[in-house]
Structure 1
Amino acid sequence: MELLDQRFLGNELSEWLISLALLVGLVILIRIVYGVFKRVSRRVTNRTATQLDDIIVDKVEEPIVFIVSVAAIYIVLERLSFGQVVDQFIGDGIWFGVNIGITWLLVRLSNALMTEFLTPYFNQEDSSVQDQRLPIIQKMIVIIIWAVGVLIALNNAGYNVGALLAGLGIGGVAFALAAKDTISNFFGGIIILIDKPFNIGDRIKVAGYDGNVVSIGLRSTRLRTLENRMVTIPNLKFIDGIVENVSSQPSQKMTLKIGLVYNTTPEQIEEAMNALHEINDRVQGTDKNCVTSFTDFGDFALGIHFIYYITPEGDYFNTQSEINLGILKEFNKKGLEFAFPTQTIHTEMASFKG
């Protein structure tokens, strides 16, 4: 038995063997209890109508196993002695691990509960809003939970959290000054997602760019311009500048000035204005209320003013093309002649008497 009485790292070999056997027994016990708990909990939750209990059971399994495993390591190491300093370090490490496990549990629960309860709320709005806002809210809450959890874990492990926070405060001021624009863009992204001046797919005008919103991020927003180019705009521009949401207007006013030749009869002028009303009624994507008016006698044309409106559902360019093609076909069919700049020069022959 002398072999078992030999000491290794301050403990007899027999104590090491007992601790190892205890660790193996605890691992087996944990696996058995975990398996039984999993089967029983599944049966119970499957009988209920709500999904909340299923979510809770699914999300707490792994963190609880981690916490119990840390506790098992503590039970095993508690039997051994490594000296005051090492024992204190092990005790602090165990507390740190337990706190991290609890934080992990809270993070998983918060993510699951937010997905379960916030998703129906966001489903009442535009799906693009849900795609952008929900993940950002989840990330922010997760960061807060982890930050608080790590600070508590460090405090329980014996670290001076006050001094750490003071150091972080000084460093945070320096970081904020160095990354002022990045921080401004970050808060700009949050304001966009909360205030919702526009959604994904909307056509907007900002900082001299005109295009459709492709994505809204925490640092920048991407537009696809009318030239089909992708533009990345820092969110700070949306706070400091003026944003025009073209898609939010009820309809977009379009104005055409049509000139007919001077030999057009009054009856043809009326026929032309009636044709414009019919064309507007036929084209999809226009408001059926339009305005036509015989407005002026120009230098070389009789002017007809045509105002129509493109609805948000209508395509901006295709609708204009259909209107213009309809006018061209209908006017040609009715023999209505478009005017263009012309000049008529009258010359008189002078007579000379000899």
Structure 2
Amino acid sequence: MPEFLHKTFYGNTIFEWGVAAAGILLSFVIAKTVYWLIGHFVKKLAKNTKNRFDDILVDMLEEPVVFVLIITGIWYSLHFLNLSETAQLAISRAYYVLFIVAGAWLLTRLSDATIETYLVPYVRKTEGKLDDQLLPIIRKGIKLSVWSIAVIVALDNAGYDVKAVLASLGIGGLALALAAKDTVANLFGSFTIFVDKPFVVGDRVKVKGYDGFVREVGIRSTRLQTLDGRMVTIPNQFVANESIVNVSSEPSRKITMDIGLTYDTTPEKMERAMEILREIAQNHPDTEENIVTAFTEFKDSALNIRFIYYIKKGASVFGAQNAINMAILRRFNDEGLEFAFPTQTIYTKAG
């Protein structure tokens, strides 16, 4: 062996430095070869399977796997050198930190692959837009949780006082939470709406005294378009805590009418009036078969008939009511049935 290879620099011979450098170079070559094999063979094998998960998984994990091979090769290559205890400790800590980073990278990539394979297709099939808006938040939340744990573990392995760091973060987090409590409440409110699904975009609902159609469900608020066309924005924390009436979920619309006839109406005409009401409701194409007519009470100025019918889901409520009311008016006029109106008779005593 040539004599110059035995010359010492910084506690190691040129030969030892060369072996370490060759090991590091070899680790890069191996990593590059594995990367090439994954791209040209493993991906092709994954594409031949019916399952889409393995395709996404291979694509997500190839970079972290190559990174792990590189840092592992560097770690073993540096073992050929005679290093001081301080240098060895620094390298060990650096290696553990890099390995933890690689682990976190692998976990986040794996979660992305799982979400892309299973959650994204499910979300695309749903009608509402809230889950589309929450999915990126879920992704970022998982990544933030994994990386936060990774940073804490890495700092602990690097020799830092993690308890002091966590205490500082806790105080800052408490202050931030107090300042953003409404935002957090709205965020949890949107999550509650997403999980419970009391309505979807397009439904007509009654909430917080407003009656209207849901036009948008966001992370912070829900927007309703009231029946008079005005847009109302309600924070999600109130929507989640309120009793919600989903008008669109009703199987049919119940219509209740009180029709008053004059007191000179005979019993036969009262029966005929109820028969006409049933005929009108039964012959309309947008009504259900469940029809109720009843002579309910003697009012001050009228004989009252309670008329209940149901309009089918999806039919025009105002259109059906208009058609039925016009038919009642025509049929009652043709049959000589008089509608009552409030009257008052005053008797005077002659002087």
TM-score, structure 1 normalization: 0.71
RMSD: 4.8
1:277-300 deviation line (CA, Å, top 9, x unaligned): 344345565432121223455566
Separation of aligned partners in 2, 1:320 and 1:114: 45
Match of 1:324, SS state, is helix
- Larger mean Cα displacement after TM superposition, 64-73 or 178-187: 64-73
The Cα offsets for residues 108-144 of structure 1, whole Å up to 9 and x where unpaired, read as: 2113224434568879x96437546655544433332
Match of 1:148 in 2: 149
- Runs of at least 5 residues in structure 2 that lack an aligned partner in the other structure: 1-11
Q: Does 1:170 align with 2:171?
A: yes
Given candidates 311, 317, 320, the residue that maps to 1:319 is 317
Over 3 Å counting, the alpha-carbon distance change for 1:132 and 1:276 in structure 2 is farther
Q: Please tell me whether residue 237 in structure 1 is matched to residue 204 in structure 2.
A: no
- Give the C-alpha shift of residue 172 in structure 1: 2.2
Select which of 328, 331, 346 maps to 2:329.
331
Q: Distance in 1 between matches of 2:42 and 2:156?
A: 35
1:247-262 maps to which residues of 2 (within 5 A)?
Answer: 247-260=248-261
**1:72-221 alignment to 2 at 5 Å?**
95-117=96-118, 127-128=127-128, 131=132, 136-221=137-222
Residue 165 of structure 1: how far off its partner (Å):
0.9
Q: 1:223 to 1:88 in 2, by over 3 A?
A: farther
1:231–1:77 Cα change, 3 Å: farther
C-alpha distance in structure 1 between counterparts of 2:224 and 2:91, whole Å: 54
C-alpha separation in 2, matches of 1:137 and 1:52: 19
The letter of the residue matching 2:317 is: T
* Structure 1 unmatched ranges of 5 or more: 1-10
Amino acid at match of 1:141: I
How many angstroms apart in 2 are the aligned matches of 1:159 and 1:62? Answer: 29
Q: Indicate how the Cα distance of structure 1 residues 47 and 292 shifts in structure 2: closer, same or farther if over 3 A, else same.
A: same
CA contact (8 A) 2:222 2:235 kept: yes
User: Deviations 1:237-291 (Å, cap 9, x if unpaired)?
Assistant: 1454433333445544321223456676666554543343344345565432121
1:280 aligns with 2:278: no
More divergent stretch after superposition (209-218 vs 319-328): 209-218
Residue of structure 1 equivalent to 2:223: 222
The two structures have a TM-score, normalised by structure 2, of 0.71
Change (3 A) 1:141 1:275: farther
Deviates more, 1:145-154 or 1:87-96: 87-96
Equivalent residue for 1:307? Answer: 308
Post-superposition CA distance 1:4-44 (Å, at most 9, x none): xxxxxxx9xxx999999988876565444312222221232
Deviations along 1:167-194, one digit per CA (max 9) or x if unpaired, are: 1122222223333333333333333333
The one-letter amino acid of 2:145's match is I
Secondary structure of the structure 2 residue equivalent to 1:335: helix
Q: Structure 1 residues 130 and 71 mapped into 2: Cα distance closer, same or farther (>3 Å)?
A: same
Kindly tell me: are residues 219 and 55 of structure 1, through their superposed partners in 2, closer, same or farther at Cα, counting changes over 3 Å? same
Residues 17/223 of structure 1: CA separation in 2 closer, same or farther (3 Å cut):
farther
Conservation of the 8 A alpha-carbon contact between 1:284 and 1:314: no
Residue 57 of structure 1: how far off its partner (Å): 1.1
- Once residues 231 and 63 of structure 1 are traced to their aligned partners in structure 2, the CA distance between those partners, rounded to angstroms, is 48
Q: Is the 2:257–2:307 Cα contact (8 Å) retained in structure 1?
A: yes
Measure the CA separation in 2 of the matches of 1:149 and 1:83.
28
Match of 1:100, SS? helix
CA distance in 2, matches of 1:304, 1:266: 12
Residue in 1 that maps onto 2:292: 291
C-alpha spacing 1:242/1:96, structure 2 compared with 1 (3 Å): same
